[in-house]
């Protein structure tokens, strides 16, 4: 065998070499391109992630700061995306507010994000500190049977017409001055039990009031507690003002001194009742209907009948006013003994809107 | 990270777009939720107020001592009858921290010919003209002021008391008016409404609404109960409803305070 014959020719070798080099360079090229591609997508992805991180961070921080501002400075918040703006009537900021430290405690405990309702001389819930004294234990504040007043707020529609629904809730708190730490000294009372249950029937809200003095006030359009202890206004219309001024809304609260302010008991034979109800004709019937349907909101020791047909009759209450008047007073007493603070919460939602 | 990238690279273009869109939507949700929560929060408002303590009305003896010190048993009738001595007793009314207006009510039976009146009073430092002394009978270990100190009260204006159950001109009927008013109530005890034993029916008097003096917390209104001998009724030839009886008589006196119209 001739060795030289087996040897590849130089030409072939060259060819093979060239071929190999070509393949190699191709591979290198491909590799580089792949790497470049990878790099490109890596940069894209990283930048996207950074962008999103920044977005999240900003929105979260913004939310935190906004939330804090509600607590301390900001009175009303314009919420983009909503068709209305809700705000307090601000004259003095937080300076004219009693019981704010207690309220703050509750807000922190519950993580409440509601706007703190600011009060004025003529619009308050017995919690307006007229002389701006720092004394939070001030005795002159607070409410009791016979107290009444008005609380106001502003609604500013961003559209021509808007229908809003309201949901009010009154919660009772007891205050324990001996609590180990501040955070525990306000205790939410069980709303289904006495005395918090009686808040539903003893602190009443109305949309309208006429008259000039406490003695001749006539209340109408009651916002009464339903079976779920919610007080609801289903739909009120607001129209955008020409000068973009907000519309002022007044809610009247009253803690009737006696049951005779709600039910006309002047015909009672057993006791002499001289007071007449402070409600307008329509409101009178609504309130009485509420009393007979939910007597457990008004009277101590009277339970709600399981069947609506078995409910108390107005005439029965009038005939036995000596008893029912006392049940009502006893419930008042329970509130006075067991409830130290009450929290009024209002929640507003859009029902519908039109225009722009 | 590398693996995720490799897998990402393996996807075709459509899948890549899908993946990016899915991640974006997820992130949008994450960002949107808290922001939306904030939006919904600004349609809420709340305020807190205090519930005042219930109104209190409390009747006690002089210097707001325990009512046990309001003692009527040591009245000397002989002294009253012969020397015209007038007996005085002091009591106090606390109208609570809110100083609610109240009405005083006096009810008493009419066995002994006594005339009762109530006067406003002020606590004064020492004895003087028209002052009434009050000395607590029982020592309260927790109250040093019950330790035998005598307090003095200056007699003021009379509290006008309006009789509610009487036509005092009616010589025989007087006390039974209340029975008649209650229509049938005395049927349960007596044969007829009108048969009620005259002395069993108390005389019932009521004051106008009294506005408490507001001198701050823990201050009280003081009153003097004046008990006089009714010599006319005690005369032997007296025949009206409130004529004195020759038995060992006792009387019941109730003084109550109730919330007045504010």
**DSSP labels for A226-285?**
-TTS-EEEEEEEEE--TT-PPEEEEEEEE--SSGGGTS--TT-SSS-------B-HHHHH
Instruction: Output the CA–CA distances (angstroms, integers) from residue B196 to A20, B171, B176, B193, B241, in the order listed.
Output: 138, 15, 7, 7, 13
CA distance A3 to chain B (A): 51
Average pLDDT score over residue span A74-82: 52
Return the structure tokens found at A280: 């307008």
pLDDT band at residue B172 using 50, 70 and 90 as cut-offs: low
pLDDT digits (tens, 9 = 90+) for A160-179: 999 999 999 999 999 988 88
Reply yes or no on whether the pLDDT at A72 is more than 90.
no
Q: Do B48 and A144 make contact, defined as CB atoms within 8 angstroms?
A: no
Whether residue B179 lies inside any domain: the answer is no
> Which of A30, A61, A113 to mutate to probe the B interface, most B CBs <10 Å?
A113
Under 8 Å between Cβ of A344 and B66: no
Whether residue B27 lies inside any domain: the answer is yes
B126 and B31 share one domain: no
Q: What pTM, to 2 d.p., does this model score?
A: 0.62
Q: Do A67 and B262 make contact, defined as CB atoms within 8 angstroms?
A: no
pLDDT digits (tens, 9 = 90+) for B85-107: 999 999 999 987 778 889 999 99
Higher pLDDT, A63 or A287: A287
pLDDT digits (tens, 9 = 90+) for B2-19: 777 788 788 888 888 888
Under 8 Å between Cβ of A220 and A204: no
Q: Any idea what DSSP says for residue B185?
A: G
Residue with tokens 């391109």: A33
> Which of A43, A65, A79 to mutate to probe the B interface, most B CBs <10 Å?
A79
Q: Is B54 on the interface with A (CB under 8 A)?
A: yes
- Residues in chain B closer than 8 A to A347 (CB atoms): 43-44
Lowest average pLDDT, out of A66-70, A142-146, A151-155, A259-263, goes to: A66-70
- Residues in chain B closer than 8 A to A348 (CB atoms): 43-45
Q: How far apart are CA A191 and CA A177, in angstroms?
A: 22
Domain segments of chain A as ranges: 3-58, 86-354
Q: Do B46 and A332 make contact, defined as CB atoms within 8 angstroms?
A: no
- Residues in chain B closer than 8 A to A86 (CB atoms): 42-43, 45
State the burial class of residue A299 (Cβ atoms within 10 Å of its Cβ: 0-12, 13-18, 19+). buried
Q: Do A45 and B8 make contact, defined as CB atoms within 8 angstroms?
A: yes
Average pLDDT score over residue span A14-27: 80
Whether residue B108 lies inside any domain: the answer is yes
Q: Is A342 on the interface with B (CB under 8 A)?
A: yes
Which of A38, A63, A145 lies nearest to residue B38, judging by beta carbons?
A63
Return the structure tokens found at A339: 């409830």
Counting the structural domains of chain B, the total is: 2
B25 and B89 share one domain: no
B28 and B114 share one domain: no
B35 and B143 share one domain: no
Helix (H, G, I), strand (E, B) or coil at A57: helix
pLDDT digits (tens, 9 = 90+) for A311-349: 999 999 999 999 999 999 999 989 998 999 999 999 999
Q: How far apart are CA A115 and CA A341, in angstroms?
A: 18
Lowest average pLDDT, out of A7-16, A59-68, B58-67, goes to: A59-68
CA A169 to chain CA centroid, Å, is 9
| Residue-number span of the structural domain to which B23 is assigned | 2-41
Concatenated DSSP letters for B100-150?
--EEEEEEE--SS-EEEEEEEEEEESS--TTEEEE--SS--TT-GGGSS--
Q: What pLDDT score was predicted for residue B38?
A: 52
Give the largest CA-CA distance in chain A: 145
Q: Do A346 and B46 make contact, defined as CB atoms within 8 angstroms?
A: yes
Higher pLDDT, A218 or B197: A218
Q: What is the mean pLDDT of chain A?
A: 84
Nearest partner of A48 among B35, B34, B8, judged by Cα: B8
B63 and B20 share one domain: no
Reply yes or no on whether the pLDDT at A243 is more than 70.
yes
Reply yes or no on whether the pLDDT at B178 is more than 80.
no
CA distance A233 to chain B (A): 14
B131 and B238 share one domain: yes
Secondary structure of A79-142 as H, E, C letters: CCCCCEEEEECCCCHHHHECCHHHHHHHHHHHCCCCEECCCCCCCCCCCECCCCCCCCCCCCCC
B212 and B105 share one domain: yes
CA distance A8 to chain B (A): 43
Whether residue B90 lies inside any domain: the answer is yes
B37 and B66 share one domain: no
Give the residue on B whose Cα is nearest the Cα of A125: B49
Return the structure tokens found at A297: 């909101």
Under 8 Å between Cβ of A152 and A167: no
Q: What pLDDT score was predicted for residue A66?
A: 43
B75 and B116 share one domain: yes
Q: What pLDDT score was predicted for residue A64?
A: 47
ipTM: 0.73
Q: What pLDDT score was predicted for residue B170?
A: 59
Higher pLDDT, B112 or B188: B112
B31 and B83 share one domain: no
Q: How far apart are CA B170 and CA B109, in angstroms?
A: 17
pLDDT digits (tens, 9 = 90+) for A97-155: 778 888 988 998 888 888 889 888 889 998 887 765 555 445 568 898 999 999 999 99
Q: How far apart are CA A70 and CA B48, in angstroms?
A: 16
Whether residue B184 lies inside any domain: the answer is no
Concatenated DSSP letters for B33-73?
HHHHHHHHHTTEEEEEEEBPPPP--EEEEGGG--GGG---T
Q: What pLDDT score was predicted for residue B262?
A: 45
pLDDT digits (tens, 9 = 90+) for B206-226: 999 999 887 776 789 999 999
């Amino acid at each position: 065998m001739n060795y030289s014959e087996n040897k590849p020719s130089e030409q072939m070798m060259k060819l093979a070499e060239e071929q190999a080099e070509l393949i190699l360079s191709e591979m290198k090229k491909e590799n580089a391109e792949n790497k470049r591609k990878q790099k490109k997508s890596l940069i894209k992805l990283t930048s996207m992630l950074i962008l999103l991180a920044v977005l999240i961070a900003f929105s979260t921080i913004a939310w935190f700061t906004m939330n804090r501002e509600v607590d301390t400075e900001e009175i009303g918040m314009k919420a983009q995306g909503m068709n209305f703006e809700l705000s307090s009537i601000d004259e003095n900021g937080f300076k004219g507010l009693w019981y704010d430290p207690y309220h703050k405690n509750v807000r922190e405990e519950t993580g409440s994000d509601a706007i703190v309702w600011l009060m004025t001389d003529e619009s308050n819930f017995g919690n307006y500190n007229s002389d701006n004294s720092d004394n939070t234990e001030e005795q002159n504040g607070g409410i009791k049977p016979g107290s009444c007043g008005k609380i106001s707020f502003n609604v500013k529609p961003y559209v021509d017409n808007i229908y809003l629904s309201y949901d009010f809730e009154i919660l009772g708190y007891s205050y324990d001055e001996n609590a180990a730490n501040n955070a525990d000294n306000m205790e939410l009372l069980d709303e289904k039990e006495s005395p918090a249950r009686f808040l539903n029937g003893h602190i009443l809200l109305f949309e309208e009031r006429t008259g000039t003095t406490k003695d001749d006030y006539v209340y109408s359009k009651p916002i009464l507690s339903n079976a779920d202890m919610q007080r609801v206004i289903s739909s009120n219309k607001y129209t955008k003002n020409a000068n973009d001024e907000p519309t002022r809304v007044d809610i009247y609260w009253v803690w009737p001194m006696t049951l005779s302010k709600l039910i006309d008991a002047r015909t009672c034979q057993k006791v002499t009742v001289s007071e007449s109800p402070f409600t307008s004709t329509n409101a009178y019937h609504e309130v009485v209907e509420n009393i007979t349907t939910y007597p457990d909101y008004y009277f101590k020791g009277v339970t709600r009948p399981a069947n609506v047909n078995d409910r108390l009759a107005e005439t029965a209450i009038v005939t036995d006013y000596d008893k029912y008047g006392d049940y009502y007073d006893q419930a008042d007493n329970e509130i006075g003994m067991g409830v130290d603070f009450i929290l009024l919460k209002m929640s507003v939602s859009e029902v519908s809107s039109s225009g722009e | 990270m590398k693996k995720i990238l490799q897998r990402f690279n393996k996807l075709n273009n459509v899948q890549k777009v899908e993946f990016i869109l899915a991640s974006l939507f997820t992130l949008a949700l994450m960002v949107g939720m808290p922001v939306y929560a904030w939006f919904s929060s600004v349609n809420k408002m709340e305020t807190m107020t205090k519930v005042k303590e219930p109104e209190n009305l409390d009747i006690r003896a002089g210097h707001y001592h325990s009512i046990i010190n309001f003692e009527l048993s040591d009245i000397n009738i002989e002294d009253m009858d012969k020397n015209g001595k007038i007996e005085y007793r002091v009591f106090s009314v606390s109208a609570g921290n809110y100083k609610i207006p109240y009405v005083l009510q006096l009810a008493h039976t009419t066995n002994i010919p006594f005339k009762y009146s109530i006067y406003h009073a002020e606590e004064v430092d020492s004895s003087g003209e028209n002052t009434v002394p009050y000395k607590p009978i029982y020592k309260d270990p927790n109250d040093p002021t019950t330790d035998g100190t005598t307090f003095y009260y200056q007699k003021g204006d009379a509290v006008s008391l309006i009789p509610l159950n009487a036509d005092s001109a009616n010589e025989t009927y007087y006390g039974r008016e209340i029975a008649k008013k209650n229509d049938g109530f005395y049927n349960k005890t007596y044969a007829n409404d009108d048969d009620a034993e005259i002395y069993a029916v108390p005389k019932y008097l009521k004051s106008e609404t009294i506005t408490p003096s507001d001198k701050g917390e823990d201050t009280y209104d003081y009153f003097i109960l004046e008990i006089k001998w009714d010599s006319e009724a005690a005369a032997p030839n007296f025949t009206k409803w409130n004529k004195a009886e020759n038995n060992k008589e006792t009387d019941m006196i109730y003084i109550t305070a109730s919330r007045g119209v504010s």
